[in-house]
Amino acid sequence: MNRIVEKEYFSENVVRLEIEAPRIAKARRAGHFVIVKVGERGERIPLTIAAADAKRGTITLVIQRVGVSSRRITDLNVGDELTDLVGPLGEATHIEKVGTVLACGGGVGVAPLLPIVEALKKAGNKVITILAARSKDLIILEDQIAQYSDEVIVMTDDGSYGTKGLVTDGMKAVMNREKVDQAVIIGPAIMMKFAALTTKEYNVPTVASLNTIMVDGTGMCGACRITVGGKTKFVCIDGPEFDAHQVDFDEMLLRLNGYKDIEKGADQKYLNSKEE
Amino acid sequence: MAVSKAYLKEEREQEWRVEVRKLLKNKERTALPRVKMGEVEARERICSNIEVNKGLSADEAVNEARRCLDCPDPTCISGCPVEINIPKFIKRIEQGDFLKAARVLKETSTLPAVCGRVCPQEKQCEAKCFYQLKLKNEPVAIGYLERFAADYERESGQISVPEVAPANGIKIAVIGSGPAGLTFAGDMAKQGYDVTVFEALHEIGGVLKYGIPEFRLPNSIVDVEIDNLKRMGVKFENNFIVGRTASIEDLKEEGFAGFFTGSGAGLPRFMNIPGENYIGILSSNEYLTRVNLMDAANPDTDTPVISGKQVAVIGGGNTAMDSVRTARRLGAERAMIIYRRSMEEMPARVEEIKHAQEEGIEFLTLTNPVAYFADEKGRVNKVRVQKMELGEPDASGRRRPMPVEGSEYDIDVDTVVVSVGVSPNPLIPSSLPQLETTRWGTIVVDEDKLQTSIPEMFAGGDIVRGGATVILAMGDGRNAAAAMHKYLQDKRNA
């Protein structure tokens, strides 16, 4: 069960895993996520599905090493099994033909963006995709994105690849140039906050896919709750996608940091245990 | 479902029962005092997760069993949602045949060791005991005796596996592995069905595992009951969400002919007051799941839990008591219940309230939170509460709490657990649009048969009731199994 059949390093800290999960591969739609737990004492964490192959019976996850749980998963190798894997969870992305769509992925957020870009393109939209990261080695899945995009724009903070600048610089350039009917943004919360502010200036309806802290992922605990348009919503069952202009990103940023100190300690402990 | 009087009479006239009744005169029996349950001292128990109630010794159990008059009309049974033959198992205890007593429990109950611990007996069987009804005396301690017999059997290493009818090859899917699902699964397996239980979480047991803390219901006891079901042939699939991982249609194609949904009341309610999303404010579901299911207080697990020195738990139910007592065990110096009504209306079991008081829990009654405040990092540091007074009775029959104007004051807190109830888990109904639900999100069922608007699907427990008890969920599981068995047989014979 849940055996890893392929492992690929996009960079030192970004890993792609292809995992046997025939039922999830068949049932999932763009926008869905899974909950993964590694080891009996592991933590349950949500990861958005980057791709699935129903024929092979596999799903693809792209994981960035940021803490103990993401390290545990990315330390697994081909042939290893994930202790627990459940899904697909969340509401699937609402896909329709709207005209021109601006898709923006920040860092590892490009992975969950890929199936959405694919579905938008197949629905007949013109898709312009912006890939943004700190530097060249953190730009991932460019070829796969290009396959389903009419245009791909790469932005790096340090100018090591593509155009030097922030994701919002690239977005403004596109929106100044042509009419955009809808935007989709996935990435770090801080990037989504500013991307949403940017599209608001241009009055472009925008969807953000959020990745908050979760425990069960099935609506049971409320750890993932955020405020959208003044109302509390659960990312796991009401989302993970929301109207980005209604999301209280400041609150979300605070909540994401709720366990920061404990997480740092746990990460260090794991790294120490590996050295021993 | 009602147990037949003729059957009870026949059982009562068995020679061994008549003999046991003759051992003492009724006057001698009623003169005996009710047993007191041994408890681990509060000072000691708050330092660990040790079970609070120690259980009865064999002598204590036999003595308590002597109090039971073995009434010709055993009203106690009518108070039990799974209709355990109460006098029969108690008289087996009086006789000293504890294994046979346990077998009586298992005739109708899949989880006796669980029920003996978490059932509100004082509102059910014991409330209908002759002592309580007619003698105005303390009822026979039926709950303690139930626990004793189930524990004795487990510890004896001679656990009996209920008899299972020959396999009929009919596949049945159970959605959710909580008390309703487990009971249903056991009863269907007894009838020879090929039963698979699907559980969304990685552990089997539902609320018995994620919700009820170790100090009230050790996980090892739940595991023994699950193991027993496995020995009866019940299969379990964890990490499987019916409607998501596979649809009902998929499962039908795989040969499943009947479905029982016992997916529980998953969705925690909040109060929608300012500041409720600050860090350190969490639902009781989240708090208890982290601590119970994920073992977050253990430094060797990856799941973290924030549990501070000044913990406020909002609400007055059993889950609130479980949360506040957990907080105390995780090192809270001040652990308090904030409840908008008075002690009298508090829905938690009397025993839980008593245990909480012994453990130094503060009770701020007639008090309601109105807002939270936080530091610059968004971490909660104060709750503003308002005093309440009781007005006229509301729809629930309890006096409605009314705010007292100008009575607000602030309390320093670093953790808040919101335990003001749950709503049905929307995951199953949302993936089955043809399933009829109420406006509260509960599944609509036929009251007797527990059949839903999808004829081959039955449902029970909190997904139907909204928020009730373990034993009512078990009663539903039992009734639904009987009704589904009849439905499938009729269908076959049609």
Hey, what amino acid is at A171?
M
Q: How far is CA A48 from CA A213, B290, B329, B433, in A?
A: 13, 22, 36, 25
> Rounded to 5 degrees, what are φ and ψ at A214?
-135, 160
pLDDT of residue A90: 93
DSSP-assigned letter for residue B300: T
SS3 B440: coil
Cα A64 to Cα A10: distance, rounded to the nearest angstrom: 10
Calculate how close chain B gets to A114, using CA atoms only, in Å: 21
Kindly tell me if the per-residue pLDDT of A276 is higher than 70: no
pTM assigned to the model = 0.91
Half-sphere exposure in the Cβ direction for A172 (13 Å, CA): 9
Query: B221-271 pLDDT, tens per residue?
Result: 999 999 999 999 999 999 999 989 999 999 999 999 999 999 988 789 999
Token reading at B98:
């504890």
For chain B, how long is the longest CA-to-CA vector? 75
The answer to whether A239 contacts chain B (CB < 8 Å) is: no
pLDDT of residue B358: 96
The answer to whether A271 contacts chain B (CB < 8 Å) is: no
Calculate how close chain A gets to B174, using CA atoms only, in Å: 17
Q: Which residue of B has its CA nearest to A2?
A: B239
Residue A112, judged by CB atoms within 10 A of its CB (0-12, 13-18, 19+), counts as buried
Which residues of chain A are within 8 Å of residue B279 when distances are taken between CB atoms? 254-255, 257-258
Cα B262 to Cα A268: distance, rounded to the nearest angstrom: 41
The four Cα atoms A7, A11, A15, A18 give a dihedral, to 10 degrees, of -40
pLDDT of residue B2: 64
Cβ distance A89 to B241 less than 8 Å, yes or no, reads yes
Cβ distance B377 to A254 less than 8 Å, yes or no, reads yes
Q: Name which of A248-252, A253-257, A258-262, B301-305 the model is least confident about.
A: A258-262
SS3 B34: coil
Cβ distance A237 to B276 less than 8 Å, yes or no, reads no
Cβ distance A43 to B290 less than 8 Å, yes or no, reads no
Cβ distance A222 to B272 less than 8 Å, yes or no, reads no
Query: A120-178 pLDDT, tens per residue?
Result: 999 999 999 999 999 998 999 999 999 999 999 999 999 999 999 999 999 999 999 99
Mean residue pLDDT of chain A comes to 93
Q: Which residues pair with B374 in a beta bridge?
A: B380
- Residue carrying structure tokens 């739940």: B222
Query: B435-484 pLDDT, tens per residue?
Result: 899 988 899 998 888 999 999 999 999 999 987 888 889 889 999 999 99
% of chain A surpassing 90 pLDDT: 82
Instruction: Give the ipTM of the model, two decimals please.
Output: 0.91
Calculate how close chain A gets to B372, using CA atoms only, in Å: 14
Which residues of chain A are within 8 Å of residue B303 when distances are taken between CB atoms? 43-44, 215
The answer to whether A9 contacts chain B (CB < 8 Å) is: no
DSSP states of chain A:
--BEEEEEEEETTEEEEEEE-HHHHHH--TT-EEEEE-STT---EEEE--EEETTTTEEEEEEE--SHHHHHHHT--TT-B-SEEEEEESPPP-----SEEEEEEEGGGHHHHHHHHHHHHHTT-EEEEEEEESSGGG---HHHHHHT-SEEEEEETTSSSSEES-HHHHHHHHHHHS---EEEEES-HHHHHHHHHHHHHTT--EEEE-----SSSSSSS-TTEEEETTEEEEHHHH-SEEETTTB-HHHHHHHHTTTHHHHHHHHHHHHHHHH-
Mean residue pLDDT of chain B comes to 92
> Rounded to 5 degrees, what are φ and ψ at B118?
-110, -5
Cβ distance B302 to A24 less than 8 Å, yes or no, reads no
- What integer is the mean pLDDT of B46-71? 94
Closest CA to B455 of B407, B494, B415: B494
CA end-to-end span of chain B:
24
**How many A/B residue pairs have CB atoms within 8 Å?**
123
Cα A146 to Cα A166: distance, rounded to the nearest angstrom: 20
pLDDT of residue B470: 87
Residue A226, judged by CB atoms within 10 A of its CB (0-12, 13-18, 19+), counts as buried
Query: Distance of alpha carbon B398 from its chain centroid, rounded?
Result: 23
CA end-to-end span of chain A:
30
Kindly tell me if the per-residue pLDDT of A273 is higher than 90: no
Contact in structure between B87 and B14 (CB atoms under 8 Å): no
DSSP-assigned letter for residue B53: B
Residue A142, judged by CB atoms within 10 A of its CB (0-12, 13-18, 19+), counts as middle
Query: B80-132 pLDDT, tens per residue?
Result: 988 999 999 999 999 999 999 999 999 888 889 998 998 888 889 999 999 99
Contact in structure between B431 and B453 (CB atoms under 8 Å): no
